[in-house]
Structure 1
Amino acid sequence: MTGRLTGKIALITGATGGIGSATAELFAREGADLIVTDLAEDALRELAARLAATGAEVFTARLDVSSAESWHEVIERTRQRFGRLDVLVNVAGIVDWPGVEGTTQESWDRVIAVNQTGTWLGMKAAMPLLRASGRASIINTSSVLGLVGSGAAAAYQASKGAVRLLSKTAAVEYATQGIRVNSVHPGVIATPMIQDILDEEGDQQPDIVRTPMRRAGHPGEIAAAMLFLAGDESSFVTGTELVVDGGLTAH
């Protein structure tokens, strides 16, 4: 099956990262027109060039997801260009590894601002354009660490747990307004965010050892989950968690 997103307009945050770029590339191949956003403008231009080769209409926008003003500017540009928005994919995120006592106030505030507040600001800003679609989908990126504890990464886990429940409450609020909201929960995925750890520890990385499939996932495997939730095949799916973790949380 091809063309699963033909005619749809999708906005992706964190689009130059491992999961973000894989999602953008898959969406473009499946027929979507795209607004790709990030803070890294040079990387955005490189991504846009790759996406344009698929025939998709693409425009780039620098976006600080923790800023309401930045979100307003990007959504206004989207309104002027397309007049509506069908899919919002909140991928942008940062991680900090210390536990409760090791986490600084500055780091806590930054992680929460990007991962949690940024997701809320995006939904809030985009909602009028999503409502105009009539068949819209919001996909918020949480984590397996938004489902279970690890004894570390206190700020990251707090933010990802919040994303999970924020997605659920938004799903209930907008269920009769033509807007579905779901969260995706990746396990250990080979992205730049954790590549140094994977390079150092390899298959002996503790979370990989605990993963029944005994490997890290690939960004494209998360993108495939995003595609399902973005398309009309998931028209009766809202308020759920799609866990893509090789079985890590199964035991």
Structure 2
Amino acid sequence: NTASQLAFTGAMDRSVYSTTKAGLVQFTRTAAAEWARYGVRVVALAPGPTETPMIKEIIDTLEGRAQRLDKIPMQRFGTAEEMARLALVLASDLTDNVTGHTLVADGGYVAAS
């Protein structure tokens, strides 16, 4: 499942988006409990600000970029490539005993909020 760091934090003008992502996090937990007996693992990846077209207009200005980076302890945005690699790890045998969890990949945004 693809969630978002906004499932765990609030943001202006993002109430519907945040609510649906929080619901997906709960769905991940519940589905994991229901399907574990069949050997099905259910996990979610919750990216933070990632340099994609979705946030391009927000981070295209120096002010917008600075405001977002100020909230990220690692002081950088994630990349689509990083999120793809994390999804591969979550789907791989490396995480055979992991189910019902959401991996937040946000440079420390949620931890610091």
Name the amino acid aligned to 2:65. Answer: D
In 2, distance between residues paired with 1:146 and 1:221?
20
Per-residue deviation, 1:151: 3.6
What is the aligned counterpart of 1:174 among 32, 35, 38?
A: 35
Q: Distance in 2 between matches of 1:210 and 1:194?
A: 15
- What RMSD in Å do the two structures reach over aligned CA positions? 1.2
Q: Could you tell me which residue of structure 2 aligns to residue 83 of structure 1?
A: none
Higher strand share: 1
Shift of 1:176: 1.0
Secondary structure of the 1:179 match is coil
Residue 65 (structure 2) pairs with residue 203 (structure 1): yes
Which of the pair is proportionally richer in helix?
2
When the two structures are superposed, what TM-score results if normalisation uses the length of structure 2?
A: 0.92
Aligned partners of 1:225 and 1:249: how far apart in 2?
Answer: 18
Query: Structure 2: how far apart are the matches of 1:149 and 1:221?
Result: 24
Q: CA deviation at 1:200?
A: 2.0
RCO comparison, higher one (Cα < 8 Å, 6+): 2
Give the alignment partner of residue 220 of structure 1, picking from 76, 81, 93.
Answer: 81
Q: Does the residue aligned with 1:173 lie in a helix, a strand or coil?
A: helix
Q: Which runs of 5+ in 2 are unaligned?
A: none
Choose which of 98, 104, 107 in structure 2 pairs with 1:243. 104
How far apart, in 2, do the equivalents of 1:166 and 1:203 lie? 32
- Residue 212 of structure 1: how far off its partner (Å): 0.5
Residues 1:183 and 2:44 aligned together: yes
3-state DSSP of counterpart to 1:156:
helix
State whether residues 72 and 107 of structure 2, in contact with CA within 8 Å, keep that contact through their aligned partners in structure 1. yes
**CA displacement, residues 175-223 of structure 1 (integer Å, 9 cap, x when unaligned):** 110110011110100001111111124531x232110011111111111
Alignment of 1:145-164 (within 5 A): 145-164=6-25
Residue type of the alignment partner of 1:203? R
Counterpart for residue 234 of structure 1: 95
Percent identity between the aligned chains? 39
Larger radius of gyration: 1
Q: TM-score, normalised by structure 1?
A: 0.43
The answer on whether the counterparts of 1:168 and 1:181 sit within 8 Å (CA) in structure 2 is yes
Contact 1:203 1:215 survives alignment (8 Å):
no
Q: Secondary structure at the match of 1:141?
A: coil
